[in-house]
């Protein structure tokens, strides 16, 4: 791929990589916007989210991806559901749904998400 400029121009579709460069359960960060954009492959579906946490500005996309805990009958009284669908900021562990960039526990926040589609095995982000 050609070297990316410091930030991809706005209002356009950008081919960021090929589909197989982001296998399921992985992500890559691209230089879009002020803080970059993380493109995630969640069980075959692609999502794109700004690499910035609304809490104190931490680098969201360097955080761990895992599920969400809910009360259940499992030993210990809790289970993890929707594994792979949430990203947790590496600084203070605020967790956000990758698909929507939001969290039910703090509705005022909304991390910018970007439309992503795959065409001819190319991953395209609209910035």
Partner 1 sequence: MRTAVIRVNLNPAGDLPDDQLAAAVEDLKSSGLEVIAPDFGQVPAHSREIELLLPGEDTAALSAWAADRCARALGAPGPVAGAATFLSRGTDEDALGVVSAFGLTATVERAWNNDQEIVTITIPRADARRVPESRLHTALEAALNAEVRLLYA
Partner 2 sequence: MTTLESRLQAPAAKKVPVRVVDSDVHPVPKPGVIAEYVPEPIRSKYLLSHPHGDTINYDAPDYAHAKAMRVDAFTPDGGFPGSDPELAFRQLIIEAGSDIGILEPGGRTHFIPEVTTAYKHAMNVWQDKHWLDSQANWHERWRGSICAGIEDPQGAAREIEEWAGHPYMAQVLINAEPRPAWGDPRYDPVWAAAVRHGLPVSCHLSRGYHEELPMPPVGFPSYNHDFMVTYSLLAANQVMSMVFDGLFERFPTLKIILVEHAFSWILPLMWRMDAIYSARKGDMPEIRRKPSDYVKDHIKFTTQPLDYPEDKLELTRAFEWMEADKILMFSSDYPHWTFDDPRWLVKHLPESMRDAVMHANGIETYVTVPTHVTALDGKAFVY
Closest CA to 17 of 34, 2, 33: 2
Residue 110 in the binding site for partner 1 (CB under 8 A):
yes
- Distance between CA atoms of residues 52 and 37, nearest Å: 9
Residue 114 binds which entry of partner 2, partner 1, none, CB below 5-8 Å type-dependent: partner 1
Binding mask of the shown chain, residues 48 to 67, with x at each position contacting partner 1 by CB under 8 A: --x-xxxxxx----------
Residue 1 neighbours by CB under 8 Å, 6+ apart: 17
CB of 36 to partner 2, least distance (A): 14
Residue 91 in the binding site for partner 2 (CB under 8 A):
yes
- Distance between CA atoms of residues 59 and 57, nearest Å: 7
Q: Which of 70, 93, 100, 119 binds partner 2 (CB under 8 A)?
A: 93
CB 64: neighbour CB atoms within 10 A?
11
Residue 15 binds which entry of partner 1, partner 2, none, CB below 5-8 Å type-dependent: none
- Distance between CA atoms of residues 15 and 34, nearest Å: 18
Instruction: Please report, as ranges, the residues that interact with partner 1 according to CB under 8 A.
Output: 5-10, 32-35, 37, 50, 52-57, 70-74, 79, 81-82, 85, 99-105, 107-114
């Amino acid at each position: 791929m050609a070297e990316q400029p410091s930030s991809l121009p706005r209002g356009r579709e950008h081919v960021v990589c090929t589909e197989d460069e982001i296998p399921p359960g992985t992500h890559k960060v691209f230089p879009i916007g002020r803080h970059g954009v993380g493109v995630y492959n969640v069980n075959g579906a692609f999502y794109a989210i700004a690499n910035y946490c609304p809490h104190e500005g931490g680098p969201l996309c360097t955080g761990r991806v895992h599920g969400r805990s809910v009360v259940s009958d499992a030993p210990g009284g809790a289970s993890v559901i929707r594994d792979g669908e949430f990203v947790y900021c590496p600084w203070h562990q605020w967790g956000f749904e990758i698909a929507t960039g939001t969290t039910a526990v703090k509705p005022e926040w909304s991390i910018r998400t970007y439309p992503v589609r795959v065409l001819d095995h190319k991953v395209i982000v609209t910035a």
